Amino acid sequence: THNIARLLVELIIGGALVFALVLWFLLSCWEQKRMRNVFDKGTGGARRFQYRDLAAATDHFSEDRKLGQGAFGAVYSGHLKLLDHQVAVKKIVRESSEGHKDFFAEVRTISESKHKNLVKFFGWCSRGHSWNILRFMCSCFWSKKNSELFLVYELMTNGNLNDYLYKSQSSEVLSWQTRYKIAKDIGSGLLYLHHECDPHILHRDIKPGNVLLDENFNAKLVDFGLSRMANQDNATLLTTAIGSEGCLDPQCLKHGKVPFKRSSDVYSFGIALLEIACARRHREQIWDLYRRGGNIVEAADTRLTMGGGLDMREIERVIVLGLWCSALQTQHRPSMRQAMDVLERDGPLPDLNSLIVVNTTLASTTEEDASSAPAAGNRYDCDEAPLLIPG
């Protein structure tokens, strides 16, 4: 009788354990399937890569493969056998899983935005979520503090525009014809984001470092829509200013938390035009030359004049357009449609002296400008309405 009772207890305990394991397995399968659907729906069906394939392509993200380190993560080059294509893999480390919603929204934005002047997006990967059922089951007990997210782009063989404008080791000086084409390429990509996407997309970090060049020096924008990934406090566009110093709209710097607008991108585009033509981003010196009625072409990159045969009128128009786009008052800036009309169709340029009130220093007017910021009920024109990145 004692042995029978002991056997029954063992059978009951063993059966309960088996039942618990089967239930755990079934629940894990259900949760895994649910997460797959969430990931696929959240990213708009963008291709998902396995981590092992990205690791193999980049020699396990070795330093030799590292192309650079930016605000949103490190970038590595590699050859992805699945695509038989050279790729650039951006590795992003998040300290919590709460930011994945923003990440998926950005992936969806990038994957749905297709234009010849936007870097081609191949897909994404999340290392923190394994689709192997055994690993997934184990992750229920042992969760990592940090999760790694990856974006896979085409590799742009000629690097970024910043290196050609400023790096002394870059032996090749871009001709004016190439620079002018790059300016139009940047404008074309930004025009697409601002006026041809629905809803509109803000880049928020236009600068030469985010302009990549292919083997034929065609320019393509990268990192559009990624500024929301900076930290949890910047989940919406009514947020602390994000961007690169010297390229960011002063209105955003003055007012702290502001609704970003297309005009903020236009300002950064104007600074980029000045950098392309003059290899400098400090607009005050160039503006001072314009205001005094001097020859604005004198501000152009001296390396351009070495070869001769330059279209001085074209250079002048690009510099003036750069000043117009980077006007301190947002209402005085053109839209990207107007800017591209100047670049592509010889559109008219205004007399900036009649439009812009010159401020010798931005700091001296910060208090006054902040107190006169538009109230919530004020009207905006179509190019100034506060926008949200999709998602």
- Half-sphere exposure of residue 18: CA atoms within 13 angstroms, side-chain side: 6
pLDDT at 211 over 90: yes
CA distance 381 to 258: 17
87 and 188: one domain?
A: no
210 and 96: one domain?
A: no
Q: Mean pLDDT throughout 194-219?
A: 89
In a domain, 28, yes or no: no
Q: What is the pLDDT of residue 238?
A: 43
Dig out the tokens for 213 from the structure.
């060049």
220 and 358: one domain?
A: yes
Greatest mean pLDDT among 189-193, 308-312, 330-334: 189-193
Dig out the tokens for 113 from the structure.
């935005």
Q: What is the pLDDT of residue 32?
A: 59
CA distance 106 to 110: 6
Ranges of H-type helices in the chain: 2-42, 51-57, 100-112, 133-139, 161-166, 176-191, 250-255, 262-278, 283-291, 312-325, 336-345, 366-371
Check residues 169 and 220 and name the one with the higher pLDDT.
220
pLDDT at 107 over 70: yes
Q: Mean pLDDT throughout 286-308?
A: 84
113 and 253: one domain?
A: no
Q: Are 340 and 359 in contact (CB under 8 A)?
A: no
Last residue of a domain, one of 106, 127, 154: 154
Summarize pLDDT for 37-47 with one digit per residue, the tens. 555 554 445 78
pLDDT at 377 over 50: no
How many domains are contained in the chain?
2
138 and 170: one domain?
A: no
Q: Is 346 a catalytic residue?
A: no
In a domain, 3, yes or no: no
Q: Mean pLDDT throughout 50-61?
A: 93
Greatest mean pLDDT among 5-19, 35-49, 88-102, 122-136: 5-19
Handedness of CA 328, 322, 264, 89 (dihedral sign): negative
At position 154, the amino acid (one-letter code) is E
Q: Mean pLDDT throughout 98-127?
A: 80
Q: Are 219 and 117 in contact (CB under 8 A)?
A: yes
In a domain, 245, yes or no: yes
In a domain, 20, yes or no: no
Summarize pLDDT for 148-160 with one digit per residue, the tens. 889 999 999 999 9
119 and 251: one domain?
A: no
Q: What is the pLDDT of residue 8?
A: 80
Which residues are documented as binding site for ATP? 91
135 and 234: one domain?
A: no
CA distance 71 to 93: 11
Q: Are 212 and 222 in contact (CB under 8 A)?
A: yes
Q: Which of 200-204, 292-296, 358-362 has the lowest mean pLDDT?
A: 358-362
Which of 258, 287, 260, 257 is closest to 271 using CA atoms? 287
Output the domain CATH number for residue 349: 1.10.510.10
43 and 128: one domain?
A: yes
CA distance 72 to 227: 8
In a domain, 23, yes or no: no
CA distance 92 to 148: 6
Dig out the tokens for 364 from the structure.
């001296």
pLDDT at 171 over 70: no
Last residue of a domain, one of 101, 132, 154: 154
CA distance 250 to 328: 7
In a domain, 150, yes or no: yes
At position 279, the amino acid (one-letter code) is A
Check residues 142 and 388 and name the one with the higher pLDDT.
142
Dig out the tokens for 386 from the structure.
């506060």
Choose, from 205, 223, 301, 383, the residue flagged as catalytic.
Answer: 205
Residue 311: helix, strand or coil by DSSP? coil
Identify the domain containing residue 181 by its residue range.
Answer: 161-371
149 and 233: one domain?
A: no
pLDDT at 34 over 70: no
pLDDT at 230 over 50: no
- The position carrying tokens 């880049």 is 203
In a domain, 173, yes or no: yes
Dig out the tokens for 20 from the structure.
């618990």
In a domain, 377, yes or no: no
Mode of pairing for the β-strands spanning 85-94 and 66-70: unpaired
Which residues are documented as binding site? 91
Check residues 8 and 367 and name the one with the higher pLDDT.
8
129 and 168: one domain?
A: no
Output the domain CATH number for residue 133: 3.30.200.20
191 and 148: one domain?
A: no
Check residues 216 and 141 and name the one with the higher pLDDT.
216
123 and 183: one domain?
A: no
Handedness of CA 247, 372, 337, 204 (dihedral sign): positive
